[in-house]
Chain A
Amino acid sequence: MKTLLQALGPVAQAVGDGLVLRPASERELVAVLAVLRDRQASLGAEVMLDRSALARLGAVQDRAMTLEAGAGVPVRVVESKANHARLTLGPLSPMAWEASVGELVEHPALAFRAVVPGRLEPIAAGITGVLADGHLVRSAVGPRHAAGPDLASLLVGGGGALGLVTAAVLRLMPLHDAEQRRLFSFGTFAQALEATREALSAGVTFARAVLRGRAGRTVGEYTLRGAAAQVDRELELLARCAEHVGGRFEGLGREAEVDGPEREASWADLASALGHGGSVELFRPALTSVIARGVAAHEFIPPGPLFKGLRAAFDRSHVLGRGP
């Protein structure tokens, strides 16, 4: 450890038996990874990476509704700055609000938000990061990654397995005060799920939803947030989607919650939880997947050969010591 500490220079600090590395720029992170690779050391419990010094917070770009932030900036700090410009990161899950920008953008599930009609888009419009092999990736800021392989996706949602994000340009949306809830009941949980999918596909963007069994039926409580006119339009659409699959309007609902850890889940996972008499709370609901509470942990799926290959190519020396 001592020689490693010396080699790393002022970026490293001895804490207890281990080291904490606090790079303040991409360049410093590149240098840190080079030293670790040289000494065949890796990040982990003993050599911890602290990105809090990557703390730059840019100005809100009001027209494009974006804001650039360093990986170490807490998501709540970004939100507060966005709110001053009447913008928001949008309805995020509770876990996302506790993350830093780096953790948010690298997380396999939190890195994406739901957009009409039930699809996912990265929260980051652009990123800067360092791959485990020391090379930089800087994706152009734009409405789309559009041509060629998406190199940013090596980092965005990558769980920090191939590289680390140092800064991200985050997508924002207008901050509106309107929030409304609606409660519908369905004959079966399958109908409740179908109504929810139908609403997503038709263009409803709800902030959260709770589905649970009650008196032999399944009730769905949906919370919509946005501009008043948009919420009104989508509430009407939601009602028609619910009725279309046999749902019954039951009132305005009351803020229900489900305990338990947040997980990314498929619709089959939700069906399984409800089929076993459980309740589920959905954040970031999309047709592709949802972030939910109340669903069982996934069986560990071993990483596929493609991923293993990528890991071997970009992090041959396992310097990041991370990933699935």
Chain B
Amino acid sequence: MLEARGALEAVVRGRLSTRELDRLATGRDLWPLTLLWLRQGKVPPPPDAVVWPGTDDEVASVVRIARERRLALIPFGAGSGVCGGTLAVHGGVMVDLKRFDTIGPVDPVRRCVDVGAGVMGETLERRLAARGWTLGHFPSSIGMSTVGGWLAARSAGQLSSRYGKIEDMVLSVRGVLGTGERFETPERPFDGPDVAQVLLGSEGTLCVFTGARLRVHPRPEARVFRAFEVPSVERGLEAIRRVFREGLRPAVVRLYDPFDTTFVGRAKPASPRKAPSKRSALEATVLPGVLKRLAIETLGRPGLVNPLTRLATRSRLIFMCEGEAKHAAAEDRAIAAACLSMGGVDLGEGPGREWYRKRYDVNARLPRLMEAGTFIDTMEVSAPWDAVFEVYERVREVAGAYALVLCHFSHAYADGCSLYFSFVGSGRTEAEIEDRYQQLWRAALGAATSAGANVSHHHGIGLLKARAYQDSLGEGRHALATLKRLFDPDGILNPGKLGL
């Protein structure tokens, strides 16, 4: 790396750093396993340097230098990935795309906008909203993820049941291949395969995205919320299936299993935040210890706690329709009819509004729980309607041996939906916790895929699911390997990810 430093520094006009702080800041993402390591004082392998190119030509030059010197390059968005996608397992250079931060004017006739890969999600939505438009892409991590990261991991937003996943919003993508060639995919109509779909989801292993042309829609005139209590998960799933079969397209659909239902959409009076300095000694010193003890006693024994969660049966189902006001209201009425026919009890708009108000809160809550000596992770897969309930039951059964298991169902389609499991576990020692975490993932993902689910719905593969992903491809592995040879012949782009 040291020999390449001068050449790299020249092409990125000095925007290169080997400072420890920069290397540590980009050398990991939010993969919970790395959070466990940090708690133990272990640091994931950092890159040798970070560069901040600002043009496609600069990225192309960086790639060419890396090819000559056989240096690994890891594209970096904002590091909000949860699968270890930005870990520098082979060292190398982190390519931070944040300087690709332009948002072009909205073309109102073609309803699209050109966006740089480094634009943060929240900035993009805010800018579009100010001009009367929306992308319709609202991942929970919108405040800490970039457009490039979305493209690279096939991200899904909370309103995907209407607007689709990010790959449905793409008109074309541009960037640089591992060969150093710049590319821009064609827009429809074109002959031959849709090359953009071959590159999307490649998690930095085939190309570096520098920008995209994305579809936008007028901002919705109205939002209509409605929640139901349904007698069981099966009934709730059947209600969603019927809603989609009838051609209704609510923007939000979320069915919480009975245990998850106890955590969702409950309005709590907002307590005034105290400045950290005013925290009482009890809160600051005694409470963490008590929490830790509690975590080990409860979450460390999931075999005892999980059966208790089966005592509850009623589930909460939330819908939100948006768009033209009268149409949204008409869709809402039709949804209500479908849900009532499945034995649902109408809870009105309150729980839905409450969920909407708190829809990004998960970001803040996560680290606190981790501090208390637990591990927390989420697994999101999707399955056809025939398999959804089976996947739910099987994963709960096997994962229940290692962690507390909660699940909600969202991102619905006419032919199936996504299942989003949350796992919370603990153990007596850090080593035991990590061991349990690894076993949990192997068991849970194995159970999900053998019951008919895919490997991931929107978090991507990274290192975490690389083995399962490769297994799921079967003979398709050859096609992936051919793509890798074609687009990244020296294997310099994000080595180790996707099992490549």
Contacts and interface: CB of A to CB of B under 8 A. Distances in A.
Chain B associates with chain A: yes
B472 A140 contact: yes
A241 B167 CA distance: 27
A61 B415 CA distance: 10
Given A151-B479, A159-B191, A236-B327, A143 B200 contact: no
A196 B248 CA distance: 20
A162 B111 contact: no
Best-surrounded residue of B454, B480, B498 (most CB of chain A within 10 A):
B454
Given A64-B384, A173-B414, A301-B186, A307 B195 contact: yes
Contacts of B21: none
Interface stretch (B56-64, B228-236, B436-444, B482-490): B482-490
Contact of A143 (B323, B416, B465, B498): B416
Interface residues of B, number: 86
Nearest to B416: A143
A265 B189 contact: yes
Nearest to A137: B476
Given A148-B480, A150-B197, A142 B475 contact: no
Contact of A313 (B110, B165, B486, B498): B486
Contacts of B201: 146-150
Interface in A125-142: 125, 131, 133, 135-142
Contacts of A307: 192-193, 195
Contacts of B165: 144, 146
A171 B215 CA distance: 24
A144 B480 contact: no
B247 A288 contact: no
A323 to B, nearest CB: 6
B260 interface: no
Interface in A112-136: 115-117, 119-121, 125, 131, 133, 135-136
A290 B167 CA distance: 19
Contacts of A301: 186, 190-191
B415 A226 contact: no
A310 B206 CA distance: 13
A253 interface: no
Interface in A26-82: 61, 63-66
A309 interface: yes
A119 B215 contact: yes
Contact of A287 (B111, B203, B414, B452): B111
B189 A63 contact: no
Contacts of A173: 247, 414
A9 interface: no
B414 A146 contact: no
A188 interface: no
Nearest to B453: A142
Chain A, interface size category, equals 35 or more
A143 B245 CA distance: 13
A149 B465 contact: no
B190 A116 contact: no
Interface string B411-440: 101111110000000000000000000000
B148 to A, nearest CB: 16
A119 B168 contact: yes
Given A63-B386, A140-B472, A144-B454, A151 B480 contact: yes
A293 interface: no
B193 A149 contact: no
A86 to B, nearest CB: 11
A205 interface: yes
B251 to A, nearest CB: 10
B139 to A, nearest CB: 14
B293 interface: no
B154 A146 contact: yes
Contacts of B169: 119
Interface in B445-500: 452-458, 460-461, 465, 469, 472-476, 478-480, 482-483, 485-487, 498
Interface string B348-390: 0000000000000000000000000000000000111110000
Nearest to A155: B193
Given A201-B217, A236-B326, A289-B189, A153 B194 contact: yes
Contacts of B453: 142
Contact of A148 (B171, B326, B327, B469): B469
Contacts of B452: 142
B215 A287 contact: yes
Given A158-B193, A237-B324, A305 B183 contact: yes
B202 interface: yes
Contacts of B417: 143
A281 interface: no
B200 A149 contact: yes
B52 interface: no
B459 to A, nearest CB: 8
A116 B249 contact: yes
B56 to A, nearest CB: 15
Given A143-B413, A150-B198, A171-B415, A267 B110 contact: yes
B241 interface: yes
B302 interface: no
Contacts of B458: 146
Given A137-B476, A202-B324, A203-B327, A143 B193 contact: no
B323 to A, nearest CB: 6
Given A171-B415, A229-B334, A306-B185, A136 B192 contact: no
Contacts of A149: 197-202, 206, 480, 483
A135 B327 contact: no
Interface string A229-240: 110010011001
Contacts of B478: 131, 133, 135
B54 interface: no
Interface of B: 109-111, 154, 162-165, 167-169, 171, 181, 183, 185-195, 197-203, 206, 215, 217-218, 241, 245-249, 323-324, 326-327, 330-331, 334, 382-386, 411, 413-418, 452-458, 460-461, 465, 469, 472-476, 478-480, 482-483, 485-487, 498
19 contacts: A108-B192, A115-B249, A117-B323, A135-B478, A136-B475, A142-B384, A144-B411, A144-B416, A144-B457, A149-B199, A149-B206, A171-B414, A202-B323, A230-B246, A265-B189, A267-B110, A307-B192, A307-B195, A309-B487
Across the A-B interface, the 8 shortest Cβ-Cβ residue pairs = A324-B191, A143-B416, A158-B193, A264-B189, A143-B413, A153-B197, A147-B456, A289-B188
Interface of A: 61, 63-66, 108-109, 115-117, 119-121, 125, 131, 133, 135-144, 146-151, 153-159, 161-162, 171, 173-174, 194, 197-198, 201-203, 205, 226-227, 229-230, 233, 236-237, 240-241, 263-267, 287-289, 298, 301, 303-307, 309-310, 312-314, 323-324
Given A135-B482, A147-B456, A174-B247, 8 more contacts: A116-B249, A135-B475, A135-B478, A142-B454, A144-B457, A154-B193, A201-B217, A203-B324
